[in-house]
Amino acid sequence: MDFSLTDEERAVRDTVRSFIRREVMPLEAEVLRRERAHQPGLDHSEVRELQLKARKFGFWGLATPEEYGGMNLPAVLQSLIWTELGHTFVPFRFGGEADNILFHATEEQKQEFLIPTIEGERRSCFAITEPGAGSDAANIRLSARRDGDGDDWILDGEKTFITGGHDADFAIVVAVTDREKGARNGGATAFLVDRAMGWRSEFIQTMGEGGPASLIFDGVRVPHRNILGEIGQGFTLGMEWIGKGRYTIPSHAIGIAERVLQMAIDYANTRETFGAKIGTNQAIQWMIADSETELEAARWLVLRSAWTVDQGLDPRHASSMGKLYGAGMVNRVVDRVLQIHGGMGYTRELPIERWYRQVRLYRIFEGTDEMQRLIISRDLLRGYTKIGGHLA
């Protein structure tokens, strides 16, 4: 059994690491200052400038096929890169990306939506959640009905908690096209809906920096040619979109945990109480030991789930375990790191409280802890997976 990285994996990881250290981390103080003043950490032009800089180093379109100018990296490499990105709280990600399901677009749609999104000229958001349907996504109500015998569809309803929904100029919207069938059984369809077609957004304040939005559709007319994929395929596409985050989110969590744990170690080695470094206390040592152990466990769970993707196996079971454990792990680690920093950890002089607020989301979006547990146990109970995973 070989747990090492290949030369290519190590080289890519190290290049990303040095880019993040050299170009992104120096922005941290300014990002914190702006966020404390209730401004975005970076504006779009600044993110784009960084992305174009990264492009010069060859980092563009991690998941994007080569024919669209991307790198089409294996999931394991993408996971390693997301971990590197997690080392900083600066809201940066590499450019040249588009929602994975946009690749189901027709040639015409690719020109209008996919390619401009990859190039960073257009901004998308993905909308399935509604006020009455989150975990139970099959319960969506936003309706799309044909306009008489015309070639248009009329969308009515509301989406909520949509990341990037306040900035996006188009939305990928999963709507009910056949209520009788139900969303899960071919009754939902995905539409590409320009903001100019008439939907509006309302920003939602959250405990994190930035925030999602509600999207309101009030008789929004969408041409038939804007259907993404097939009629009735909307729920499947929605699940495909969510599937991607099941290994990138915990990969990011691992990066955050690595960074903050190092901060805790440095603090434990310098802060003195009762005439000794706090790191000499077993209470502090145990928090460090538990954090490192859980971090290591999450690392292999998540890398295994990315490896499962690369093997062409069904990654759902492995990635649900990775998402569940990785999200919980980073919350526990950040909490301990905050504790080790005492009062300083609670202040806004350090970014620890920012991470504390940020990572709370990881247990909620793209499938809550409870939904991951539901998937994992259901797979076992119905005999779809075996204890022991791919080694069983």
- When binding is defined by CB under 6 A, the residue of 115, 154, 216, 361 that contacts ligand FAD is 361
d(CA 84, CA 24): 11
Told to check if 127 binds ligand FAD by CB under 6 A, we report yes
Annotated catalytic sites, by residue? 366
What is the CB-side half-sphere exposure of residue 132 using CA atoms within 13 A? 6
| Cβ–Cβ under 8 Å, residues 334 and 355 | yes
Among positions 170-229, residues that touch ligand FAD (CB under 6 A) are: 206, 212
Nearer to ligand FAD, 261 or 330 (CB): 330
In the block, which residue shows the tokens 């919980």?
328
What is the rounded CA–CA span in Å between residue 142 and residue 158? 6
Q: Is residue 100 a contact residue for ligand FAD (CB under 6 A)?
A: no
Helix (H, G, I), strand (E, B) or coil at 349: coil
Q: Tell me the residue number closest to ligand FAD, measured at CB.
A: 134
**H or E segment to which residue 295 belongs:** helix 282-310
**At its nearest, how many Å lie between ligand FAD and the CB of residue 127?**
5
From the list 163, 142, 325, 166, the residue with the least C-alpha distance to 234 is: 142
Q: Kind and range of the H or E element at 160?
A: strand 152-162
> Is residue 15 within the footprint of ligand FAD (CB under 6 A)?
no
Name the token pair of 258: 């690595």
From 5, 216, 263, 364, residue interacting with ligand FAD (rule: CB under 6 A): 364
φ/ψ of 261, rounded to 5, equals: -65, -40
Q: Does 129 bind ligand FAD (CB under 6 A)?
A: yes
Q: Does 377 bind ligand FAD (CB under 6 A)?
A: no
**What string marks each residue from 285 to 314 as x (binds ligand FAD by CB under 6 A) or -?**
------------------------------
Nearer to ligand FAD, 90 or 127 (CB): 127
- Residues 6+ positions from 72 with CB-CB distance below 8 Å: 61, 63, 64, 65, 66
Read off the DSSP letter of residue 119.
T
Q: Report the residue number, 197 or 239, with the smaller CB distance to ligand FAD.
A: 239
Residue in 10, 370, 378, 384 binding ligand FAD, rule: CB under 6 A: 370
Answer for which of 128, 254, 321, 340 binds ligand FAD (CB under 6 A) is 128
Please say which residue, 74 or 210, places its beta carbon nearer to ligand FAD.
210
Residues that bind ligand FAD (CB under 6 A): 126-129, 134-136, 161-163, 206, 212, 361, 364-366, 368, 370-371, 374
